[in-house]
Amino acid sequence: MASGTTVKILPCGAMSADLTWLLLQPGRAMRSRQDKDKPAEWVDVPTHCVLVETPDGRLLWDTSCPRDWEERWGPTGLQDFFPYDKVSDEEYLDARLAQVGVQPGDIDYVVLSHLHFDHAGNAGLFKGTSAKLVCSDIEKNFAFGFDGPFTGAHLKADYEDLEFETVSGDTEFLPGVTLLATPGHTAGCMSMQVDLPDSGTMIFTSDAVYMGASYGPPVVPASIVANLEDFYASVEKLRGIAERTDATMVFGHDAEQIHQLRVAPDGSYT
Ligand SMILES: [Zn+2]
């Protein structure tokens, strides 16, 4: 339990994408013969970050997409599959931080669930500050280890000139804040568990679980999965923790849930 800890969810607008990327579900993006001529279903893919303020330090979970997404993603083609086109000026991460009275230099730890383009996109905001950038050891090895400027949704321009500290396995990173190894989506993808005195346990799944429809049961996989067996095991690991702790699950990209949460700048969880 982390007394004196506050969680602020920072909604950062949405990308748009073909639902097939997110939810390989028969009858939805995967059409029946009766619906085979329907156009692809494009949906909002909201993105958020989480500010966790504890007596032992201020942690930012993930950094969303950058303002210069269209240019930065250009070499990858991602800008045409996941345009970050449903975001207003006050929804970019830097604006959200300012709205809650925080400058990049006020952050002690920036923890990246994984280094995909829509999670590490603003990691560079913290370059030259005292913030420590943190990801899992497996994620770092992968993200720095491939040849060329990008592969899949990892884009080295987001993070290659930054220093990362790493964690391994499940780690109580700050009192009441535990980083959980939830591989599958990427090899080193993490989720974050925060145990709060009033709100109870919250689990921020990042892309280990995209949305409520992915969580099921039954679990529904997605198009971007590095290891399907690990993906399923991680979802069930999270489900087990959630059942033991009666946790509130906050999914990585759920277009309905983000509107049901108490979000910053007005809302928070304690
Ligand atoms: Zn991802």
pLDDT in tens, 3-45: 799 999 999 999 999 999 999 999 888 899 999 999 989 999 9
Q: How confident is the model at residue 2 (pLDDT cuts 50, 70, 90)?
A: low
CA–centroid distance, residue 185 to ligand 1 (Å): 7
Q: How confident is the model at residue 267 (pLDDT cuts 50, 70, 90)?
A: very high
CA–centroid distance, residue 190 to ligand 1 (Å): 10
CA–centroid distance, residue 32 to ligand 1 (Å): 28
Of residues 2 and 201, more confidence is placed in: 201
| Residue 3: predicted pLDDT | 73
Is pTM beyond 0.95? Reply is: yes
CA–centroid distance, residue 208 to ligand 1 (Å): 8
CA–centroid distance, residue 4 to ligand 1 (Å): 31
Measured in whole angstroms, how far is the alpha carbon of residue 177 from the centre of its chain? 16
| Residue 17 neighbours by CB under 8 Å, 6+ apart | 42, 43, 45, 81, 82
CA–centroid distance, residue 1 to ligand 1 (Å): 29
CA–centroid distance, residue 175 to ligand 1 (Å): 26
Measured in whole angstroms, how far is the alpha carbon of residue 112 from the centre of its chain? 8
CA–centroid distance, residue 216 to ligand 1 (Å): 19
CA–centroid distance, residue 108 to ligand 1 (Å): 23
CA–centroid distance, residue 34 to ligand 1 (Å): 32
Cα-Cα-Cα-Cα dihedral sign, residues 179, 86, 153, 220: positive
Tens digit of each residue's pLDDT (9 = 90 or more) over 85-97: 999 999 999 999 9
Residue 132: half-sphere exposure toward Cβ, Cα within 13 Å: 11
CA–centroid distance, residue 228 to ligand 1 (Å): 14
CA–centroid distance, residue 118 to ligand 1 (Å): 7
| Residue 29: predicted pLDDT | 86
Please tell me the distance from the alpha carbon of residue 79 to that of residue 111, in angstroms, as a whole number: 24
Please tell me the distance from the alpha carbon of residue 167 to that of residue 110, in angstroms, as a whole number: 13
CA–centroid distance, residue 115 to ligand 1 (Å): 7
Please, what is the average pLDDT of the chain? 97
CA–centroid distance, residue 252 to ligand 1 (Å): 9
Cα-Cα-Cα-Cα dihedral sign, residues 22, 162, 183, 49: negative
